Structure 1
Amino acid sequence: RLAARVRASGEVIETLAADLATPEGVEKVVARARALGDIELLVNNAGLSTSGPFLDQSADREIESIRVNVEALYRLTRAILPGMVAKKRGGVLNIASIVAFQAIPYWTTYAATKAFVLAFGEGLAYELRDSGVRVVTVCPGFTSTGLYADSGVPGLAGRLLPFAKPETVVRAALAAYDAGRVIRVVGFVNRLLAVSGALTPRFVLRWLMAQMFAPTAARPG
């Protein structure tokens, strides 16, 4: 559907089916991208989510999410970045999440993968600060995409916190890239959460997140 919308706008787009949970799938994407010519911007946006008590999750499914959210992002960046550095231009746009800023009980693995994305992008941005290559990490809140189709957003958080339109996140991400930002939290509520979280003792924050994200049957009292 997305490809159809982009084509309707008059832009040229190519689609490629690949399993980013496998090294072969990542290499398939890299090879196709290189065949098209110079790569100006890498957007690491693929993601998988699981939710609920950790021991209730399928280990295979969670490992798959780690491979997509962490390993594929690393492999794609590692493969594409040298060419950008050699040209002294280009950029990497990593999509993390507002949950990257703290531990999220009952969304433990997903939040941990996004914490990696945030730390990885921030460190890389510093290393490449004089290279001509930009690295921007975008931290949106809940967004109306297919990411949550299977897992959903657990607990009260999924019912109380606002969902952004994908177009809003895209505009914010591109504006942050153009401005040379290192980290961009999308949305006023999410920026407020990020700031307040940084000022809150972590043991309090863990309890609050458990209240927000626990499934009804598992919510601690």
Structure 2
Amino acid sequence: MPLLMASLLFLGGYAVLVLAQGLEPFWRDLALAVTLLTWLLFAVDFAVRLWLSGQGLRFLRTHWLDTVVLVLPLLRPLRMVKVYTAVQRRRGEPRLSLHARVITYAGMSAVLLGFAGALAVYQQEHSAPDATIRTFGDSLWWTCSTLTTVGYGDVAPVTAPGRVIAVGLMTSGLALLGAVTGSFSSWLLQVFGQEDEGRPPGNDSSPEAS
């Protein structure tokens, strides 16, 4: 929960820095301080887990997603994919509440990731020559069409950093949306599998069985 609140503070501070161009220097400095302090909290959390693991530099390889998220805090919603992977490894009675939480959290993470991606793309694109993404509304529209793989093509990044962000957003969005659909499909398969296991032998109404 503390890291979740820190993530929201980081995103809020970054949003102020990107969107509030005419803000007084005091408030911009405050937003920058909040952003840097929350990133420092992420770094301390990562360092503590690295030290407690006892793995040394191997921790960076086995926890590569955490390493990427530390370097690019805007990708923190991607950590939800690890929860989905853990749920996939569970066996036994299918629990709708567990899968429902994964779906809810992954959906919320996709929204946060989309908002962060829209901010990052807008920051890179709005002042670029020949840019089609001029307002934050344009950026949000482009993000929604990208995350849902619709891709109308009416607006698109023209700068190199913007296109790099776009590739990351496409990949990340597919991972999170895959967690939503995959978790629901996994729960259905578990339910149907247990129903088949509980069916008495020979209980088949097909013509062949008759």
Global fold match (TM > 0.5): no
Question: Computing the radius of gyration over CA atoms, which structure comes out larger, 1 or 2?
Answer: 2
> TM-score, normalization: structure 1?
0.30
Higher fraction of helix: 2
TM-score (norm 2): 0.32
Bigger strand fraction: 1
